[in-house]
Amino acid sequence: MPTPKESQNEKAEISNADEPPSPVGRIQAAWARWEGAAARFKGLDIRLEARQELRYIFPTQCGYQVRIHRSGKTPFNRSVKGQSEESLHEAMRIRDWALQERPAKRLHPIPPKVLRALGLTSAVLGINRWAPRSVYRVSYTDPIGQTRLRHFYYRVVTEEDAYAAAIAFLQTTLK
């Protein structure tokens, strides 16, 4: 027969199991998952690689359109006729030329040491760095169609791990 003290301990365990996890516990669990994400990073998947390669290029019925819009600046729009690979390469050449002519878009660029650690040459689209808050923000569209943000803080884990975790999350949203 259990003693009164043992039965109180069992009741306490049962009541703790019914309670939802605290926000602090969820955050610590997320940090534990992000730890070592840079070491597990294998590179961009094919969808994210294509998204990177074709940024600012949109297919139309008669070819490709290069659109670059910066806030407060006049937009850049050029069309390339045809659906061939040559047309696509021409659109990419126009895009690269237009990007060289315009100033950098990112207010808080991704540090080169983070990109080097992950083997990337440029920052991934859809992931922004907010340095004052020590966070990477991922903008994505949920299944309902609403644009959402998810934050990956690098106060506890390394900045490389937080960026790799943000990329991994973005890759799961594209599938």
Write out pLDDT tens, residues 144-165.
999 999 999 998 889 999 999 9
Q: Are residues 89 and 165 in the same domain?
A: no
| Residue 78 included in any domain | yes
Q: Are residues 113 and 163 in the same domain?
A: yes
Domain assignment of residue 125, given as a range? 23-48+106-173
Residue bearing the bigger pLDDT, 132 or 1: 132
pLDDT digit string (tens) for 83-96?
Answer: 999 999 999 999 99
- pLDDT at position 94 is 94
- pLDDT at position 16 is 47
Task: Spell out the long-range contacts of 1-9 with Cβ–Cβ below 8 A and sequence spacing 24 or more.
Answer: none
In whole angstroms, give the CA distance from residue 117 to residue 54: 24
Q: Are residues 72 and 124 in the same domain?
A: no
| Residue 1 included in any domain | no
Q: Are residues 151 and 82 in the same domain?
A: no
Task: Tell me how many domains the chain contains.
Answer: 2
In whole angstroms, give the CA distance from residue 65 to residue 87: 10
| Residue 8 included in any domain | no
| Residue 36 included in any domain | yes
